[in-house]
């Protein structure tokens, strides 16, 4: 499997670890902002090519049409997708690419007043993040049609992991807890993401959009309260949504929705490792 991870954050790292654990014969290239180099994960060696907003290692052009799969996990930068901006014109219609996996966000749905949304629901983002994500999703769909390449778009809910979660935030003395009536958001453990992406590599669902979220949307108060019970500690100071300063945090709390994962469970026959925050946090 010749794989390019365009961006190498926690999702890409977990996917690579998962592929190696499953004994996949992997030839990996990653792009990061760091200087180009050879990296190691245990005994496994792979190449890192530098890619910044205004400059990149041109070596990536030599291999671009030889990859089987390309995972795009770099978020929009100044409302642009760096791959589409810099590399799209270098992808030939005779490339060996079997699938492009683009990691988007459930922020594209905007606010649905706590109602359920699925992949067919109206996308009506009002935050900059949601607007940028939806714009770039559409650009990727245009690109895939133009180049006749299959694309799979994954709309990720809030990601948590063994290191970063409601329990660890309390252990690190989380200072406040935002309270907003009827505010629901969805989340997903990074291990479930890596497993779903693996299934999507070996069983390509061409030109599909999937929500990646667990079974149980909940408010931040509900999740943090559960975490505090696990630790036997007090809840942080509560702050009302209206008292937040304008910015990314307040934007997050503007949108309330419950994200359905029925499609990914049905299409990929997937059973969640962590069906809800309760299993994830208890573990």
| CATH code for the domain in which residue 140 is found | 3.40.50.720
3-class DSSP assignment, residue 46: strand
Nearest-angstrom CA–CA distance, 238 and 235: 8
Count how many domains the chain has.
1
Nearest-angstrom CA–CA distance, 87 and 71: 14
Nearest-angstrom CA–CA distance, 276 and 113: 21
User: Domain for residue 178, yes or no?
Assistant: no
User: Domain for residue 252, yes or no?
Assistant: no
Give pLDDT, residue 93: 82
Q: Which residues of the chain have pLDDT under 70?
A: none
The pTM assigned to this predicted structure is 0.96
Contact 6, 31 (CB under 8 A): yes
Give pLDDT, residue 252: 85
Give pLDDT, residue 225: 96
Contact 264, 207 (CB under 8 A): no
Sign of the Cα torsion 136, 137, 142, 148 reads positive
**H or E element that contains 201:** helix 190-202
Which pair of structure tokens corresponds to residue 53? 């907003």
User: Domain for residue 239, yes or no?
Assistant: no
Give pLDDT, residue 247: 85
User: Domain for residue 59, yes or no?
Assistant: yes
Give pLDDT, residue 237: 92
Give pLDDT, residue 212: 98
**Mean pLDDT over all residues of the chain?**
95
Give pLDDT, residue 58: 96
Domain that holds residue 210: 2-161+188-214+260-272
Distances 9 to 54, 71, 74, 101, 225 between C-alpha atoms, Å: 20, 11, 8, 15, 29
Which pair of structure tokens corresponds to residue 241? 């949504």
The dihedral region occupied by 247, where left means phi > 0, alpha psi between -120 and 50, and beta the remainder, is left
């Amino acid at each position: 499997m010749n794989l390019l991870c365009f961006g190498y954050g926690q999702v890409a790292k977990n996917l690579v670890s998962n592929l190696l654990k499953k004994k996949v014969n992997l030839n990996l290239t990653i792009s990061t902002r760091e200087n180009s180099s050879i990296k190691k994960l245990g005994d496994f060696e792979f190449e890192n090519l530098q890619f910044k907003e205004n400059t990149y290692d041109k070596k990536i052009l030599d291999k671009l049409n030889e990859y089987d799969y390309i995972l795009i996990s770099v978020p929009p930068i100044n409302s642009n997708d760096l791959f589409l901006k810099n590399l799209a014109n270098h992808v030939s219609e005779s490339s060996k690419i079997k699938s492009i996996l683009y990691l988007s966000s459930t922020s594209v749905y905007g606010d649905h007043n706590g109602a359920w949304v699925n992949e067919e629901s109206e996308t009506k983002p009002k935050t900059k993040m949601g607007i940028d994500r939806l714009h770039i999703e559409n650009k990727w769909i245009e690109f895939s049609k133009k180049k006749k390449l299959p694309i799979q778009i994954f709309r990720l809910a809030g990601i948590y992991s063994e290191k970063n979660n409601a329990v660890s935030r309390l252990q690190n003395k989380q200072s406040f807890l935002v309270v907003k009536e009827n505010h629901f958001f969805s989340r997903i453990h990074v291990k479930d993401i890596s497993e779903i992406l693996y299934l999507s590599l070996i069983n390509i669902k061409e030109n599909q959009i999937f929500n990646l979220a667990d079974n149980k949307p909940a408010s931040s108060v509900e999740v943090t309260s559960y975490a505090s019970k696990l630790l036997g500690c007090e809840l942080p100071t509560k702050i009302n949504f209206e008292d937040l300063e304008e910015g990314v945090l307040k934007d997050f709390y503007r949108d309330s929705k419950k994200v359905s994962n029925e499609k990914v469970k049905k299409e990929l026959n997937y059973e969640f490792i962590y069906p809800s925050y309760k299993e994830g946090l208890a573990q």
